[in-house]
Amino acid sequence: MSEQFIRTEMLIGEDGIHRLKKAKVAIYGVGGVGTYVAEGLVRAGIGHFLLVDDDIICESNLNRQLHATINTIGKSKVETMKERMESINPEVKIETIQSFVLYDNINEVVPLDLTYMVDALDTVTAKIALVLKSGELNIPLISAMGTGNKFEPTMLKVSDLFKTNVCPLCKVMRKELKARGVRKLKVVYSEEQPTKPLFQPSELADTEAMSGQNQDEMPDMHKKRATPGSMSFVPSVAGMIIASEVVKDILNRK
């Protein structure tokens, strides 16, 4: 027996290892949160992944995104993360789609053979599209809420969206999903009050405001969004919490 997952098997047994290996998890958004979800899951032994993100790695990703190094700037996020994951587990199967998630392409980015869906996206419309599709297909989904403008990873919580407080993105999502008949959604969110950025760098507005960082300032779906500040230790912890929830849900599924 390979020793790669022996420490994991000590906790979940041979059957647990088998369940994780045969699971297929889709991660939508391979940035500050999504890269840590992927890292946690590939090291846990998930055997099959779909990574979806349209973005490339830029210099401002270096402070928080796992695949971002000086050597990977300008490269595809999904392909760079795929390469990293394969270096951890050469037997893992990884599909990639370099695309935004839109209502128009939702059928192409959500295949029918998924075991679990992870929403680590930063736009409300894309998040809603994933929630509605997961409900239609009866595929479990967990959604990351805002991790920008936060300092305290210890204030991250797992909850149902409709029991959350403080987080501005949660408020928007509750309103939008309630209007669409959705009454339940598992999320990771922060109870920390957002910190107001000291300044807004204009050069980031064009390169990053539309991708890669979970937002916290989204009172209006149609307004141009400000770029949030971020720390290395908040989105990363959110990603690992999500990875934990995915593994536990797969292991506990009847």
Burial of 232 (0-12, 13-18, 19+ CB in 10 A): middle
Give pLDDT, residue 208.
53
Give pLDDT, residue 226.
84
The band of 2, judged by pLDDT with boundaries at 50, 70 and 90, is: confident
- Cα distances from 6 to residues 48, 87, 222, in angstroms, run 19, 18, 49
34 phi/psi in degrees, rounded to 5 = -60, -35
- Look up tokens 């807004």; give the residue: 200
Interatomic CA distance for residues 89 and 20, integer angstroms: 13
Nearest CA to 236 among 156, 164, 168, 173? 156
- Does 221 score more than 80 pLDDT? no
Interatomic CA distance for residues 220 and 198, integer angstroms: 22
Find all residues with CB under 8 Å of 153, minimum gap 6, and list them. Answer: 233, 234, 236, 237, 238
Rounded mean pLDDT, 232-243: 99
Interatomic CA distance for residues 98 and 121, integer angstroms: 14
Give pLDDT, residue 209.
45
The band of 202, judged by pLDDT with boundaries at 50, 70 and 90, is: confident
- Look up tokens 């919580």; give the residue: 157
DSSP class of residue 103 equals G
More confidently predicted of 217 and 137:
137
Q: Yes or no: say if 150 and 235 are a contact pair by the CB < 8 Å rule.
A: no
Find all residues with CB under 8 Å of 242, minimum gap 6, and list them. Answer: 33, 37, 40, 118, 120, 142, 144, 188
pLDDT tens for each residue of 47-89 = 999 999 999 999 999 999 999 999 999 999 999 999 999 999 9
pLDDT tens for each residue of 113-136 = 999 999 999 999 999 999 999 999
The band of 185, judged by pLDDT with boundaries at 50, 70 and 90, is: very high
Three-state DSSP at 95 gives strand
Q: Which domains does the chain have, with CATH numbers?
A: 6-252 (3.40.50.720)
Task: Please give the helix or strand (H or E) that residue 94 lies within, else none.
Answer: strand 93-97
* Its pTM surpasses 0.85: yes
Give CA 223 to chain center in angstroms. 23
Rounded mean pLDDT, 27-52: 99
Interatomic CA distance for residues 180 and 206, integer angstroms: 31
Q: Yes or no: say if 33 and 120 are a contact pair by the CB < 8 Å rule.
A: yes
